[in-house]
Structure 1
Amino acid sequence: MFKRSSSSLASAALCGSLLVSGCANHLSQRSEHEERVDRKLLDHSFQIDVGEPKTLELPQRRVRIHELKTFDITEYDVTRHYDRYTPYQPWREIYEIPLGAVAIVAGVGANVVNLLTFGSLPDSVTKDWLSYGVAGINPFMNVPSNGRAQQNLAGIDEVQHDHRIEHTSLPWSESPVEVTAGKETNELNTDRNGVLRINLLDSPFAEQDLTRITRLNIRVTDDQSTVQASTGLPLSKSLRGKLIEAHDLIYDDLEDDDVSQWVHRVKRLSELGLEEQASDLEQSLIEMTRNDPQLQHEFLRALAKDAGRLVAVPAGSD
């Protein structure tokens, strides 16, 4: 009695597994191809170029900063294989069973004709019609359908086709840089070319007494990776001695001075070797007197006579 019930259970389980497996009508396997690139960061650093001369003799300097990275690059050809099948939907048997019977009859007839015509008919008629018919009359299987097909990943094949070491050097563009002068630390930003413009006669350094500061410390930090680099830019003794006088010449009130004092300021800046600042002050005074042509002409004549400077008046200033 026990043996009979065990064999019955085994038979039922076997039939159940066959029915379940028979519900999915398997289609041809599909493959997808793609390329995959693995990039492994080997080294990350910064390069800070403070320019020449290494000691700052003038109040302005352009510092170039680059971000350097080294990568291990591996390229693969990847092929993914998918098993495709038509999921079983019982209600489709309502029309698939009669269509399957018709397909079987048509397939048998096609094979007879093919036999008589010495194999002139294509396989899509002789074989596919029969396959469709057999699947159609099977109540536990739907006919193959690409439109309803589903898929499962069957396997992945990877083939390496390239391996190399790659070095990159990119400007540290529009990014923060810390510049420390004494106890004061200021955050400045580079331009899109990775150039940091330092001007000791401009904010924020103009408000600080730099006469006892012998060195600017420049530090760059990548917040995402904590990689950083730093360097120093020494200030010459002669430059530190010029800064206070130059600051007063540039920023003291201009409107209370007369033309001779304006000329003195421009001439003295030039004598200090600060030609860029002297030219900027000239242009500021020309712009300031644009609505008083007589005063502007007097200033330009005094510049030529007392300071030996010939300045072209910008268009629209007359």
Structure 2
Amino acid sequence: MKPHIAASPWLLLLTGLLLGACAQQPVTDGERVERQLLSHSLLIDAGDQPVLALPQRTLRITEQRLYQVSRLDARDQLIDQTQEYQTLPWGNRAVAVHAGELDTELHTDQDGILRLNLLHDDFINLDYDNLRALQLSVTAEDGTRAEHTLLVGRELRGKLHEAVSLIYHSLEQDEVDEWARRVHRLAELGLQEESEQLENMLILLTSGDPQLQADFIQALEERE
């Protein structure tokens, strides 16, 4: 019967280092690595709901590339071949938007995020009654293209007209009760973000007139 010899921890460590070095296979003198692009695509992720129920929608756009990576030895003989998949954000890039008779261009942030808002200045002159869909598209330098369509719900179309009036029509000739009504009505329409933005803007604008600001805050509280 052969005696059992316990493996030295130093021997195990050395073996692990050697195996790790073999697995990584660094490029040595005379070797070279070639990368061949197999496919290139763009993806517009607009969430699970194809129909817009609110004026805002956050989209994430990514770029995918699939490479074939070949490792050649000093005699140009193939020793290894793998595939490498790369996903990058479509950061600080243009997104074309077609909405009714409007064609405009928006831009993603550095993380490839686009925040779409139909109550933004770019869209407030649209014929909302006849706005059925938004077509978004992105195009890379090599012609690779992706498109996505978002439908505009009937209920939202009805809200957009009123919301534009509540947000953008002049406030200068109105009393504080009308200001409070606008803020409250936006919230009733389910446009909480716009309601809060209008309220904050009016509080900021009245910061130089404490009495007017106090009257506005009181008018808001009376409508709660």
Task: Name the TM-score class by shorter chain.
Answer: 0.7 to 0.9
Q: How many residues align?
A: 197
Q: Please give the residue correspondences for 1:156-305 in structure 2 after superposition, counting only pairs within 5 Å.
A: 157-222=75-140, 224-305=141-222
Instruction: Give the match's secondary structure for 1:165.
Output: strand
Supply the AA of the counterpart residue of 2:159.
Answer: K
8 A contact 2:59–2:113 mirrored in 1: yes
Distance 1:305 1:65 in 2: 44
The alignment partner of 1:47 has SS state of strand
Tell whether the 8 Å contact from 2:100 to 2:126 is kept in structure 1 after alignment: no
1:38-74 CA-partner distances (Å, limit 9, x unpaired): 1111111111111142210100111111111111111
Q: Residue in 1 aligned with 2:11?
A: none
User: Which whole-Å CA distance do the structure 2 matches of 1:276 and 1:295 have between them?
Assistant: 24
Equivalent position amino acid for 1:281 in 2: L
Partner of 1:56: 52
Q: Which runs of 5+ in 2 are unaligned?
A: 1-27
TM-score normalized by the length of structure 2: 0.84
Q: What is the match of residue 112 of structure 1?
A: none
Seen in structure 2, the aligned counterparts of structure 1 residues 263 and 158 have a Cα distance that, compared at 3 Å, is same
RMSD: 1.4
SS state at 2:138 partner: strand
Q: Distance in 1 between matches of 2:196 and 2:171?
A: 15
Match of 2:72 in 1: 76
Q: Give, in whole Å, the separation in 2 of the partners of 1:293 and 1:39.
A: 67
Quote the offset at 1:197 in angstroms. 1.2
**Aligned to 1:211, what secondary structure does the other structure show?**
helix
3-state DSSP of counterpart to 2:155: helix
Tell me the percent identity. Answer: 42
Instruction: Specify the code of the residue in structure 1 equivalent to 2:40.
Output: H
In 2 relative to 1, CA 165–281 (structure 1 residues): closer, same or farther, beyond 3 Å? same
The letter of the residue matching 2:60 is R
Larger Rg: 1
Q: Which runs of 4+ in 1 moved over 4 A?
A: none
* Equivalent position amino acid for 2:33 in 1: V
Separation in 2, partners of 1:302, 1:260: 6
Query: How far off is 1:269 after superposition?
Result: 0.3
Distance 2:193 2:30 in 1: 58
Q: Once the 2 structures are TM-superposed, how far is the Cα of residue 166 of structure 1 from its aligned partner?
A: 1.0
* Partner Cα separation in structure 1 for residue 165 and residue 157 of structure 2: 14
Higher relative contact order (CA 8 A, sep 6+): 1
> Secondary structure of 2:54's partner?
coil
Opposite residue 274 of structure 1, the aligned amino acid is L
The match for 1:29 is: none
**Consecutive unaligned residues in structure 1, runs of 5 or more:** 1-31, 79-156, 309-318
CA distance in 2 between counterparts of 1:44 and 1:226 reads 10
Q: How far is the alpha carbon of 1:34 from its aligned partner? A: 4.8
Q: Which amino acid aligns with 1:294?
A: Q
Q: Which residue of structure 2 aligns with residue 37 of structure 1?
A: 33
1:209 deviates by 1.9
Within 2, Cα distance between the matches of 1:43 and 1:64?
Answer: 20
